[in-house]
Amino acid sequence: MEVAIDANPHAIHGGAGPEGVFNVITVENLEPELGWTSIRHGSSWIMTVEFTPDGPKSQGILTYSQSVNPNSPNYSDQTHAYSRKQWDDLRFSNDEVEAGTLSRKTISE
């Protein structure tokens, strides 16, 4: 299915439940020039985990992005990634977390 989340259409993986697909999504608002412009419901968080001798290996994605604000850089970033099948590596070990740390804040009373 193709869904117009922002100015550009995105291929979204999945389909209607009666079709027997695993990743069920329900769309509405078919606009002839834009395609489907709204997703009513579907998989919002998808994650895989493999338990290996070296520890868990996992990937996940927030399929419809984080922000509802069209001016936010996070408005459709994850939707673009999901459309391109680019999931995020999820970090489990201390070394992986440290390697992926962008900033730190200390909160105290």
pLDDT in tens, the chain (109 residues): 555 566 666 677 777 777 777 777 777 776 767 666 667 777 788 899 999 998 899 999 988 777 888 888 888 888 888 888 899 999 988 999 999 999 999 999 8
Dihedral of CA 19/21/26/30: which sign? negative
Residue 75, SS3 per DSSP = coil
Instruction: Fill in the amino acid letter for 12.
Output: I
Distance CA 75, CA 69 (A): 6
Contact 78, 85 (CB under 8 A): no
pLDDT score at 66: 77
Cβ contacts of residue 64 below 8 Å, gap of 6+? 5, 39, 42, 44, 78, 79, 82
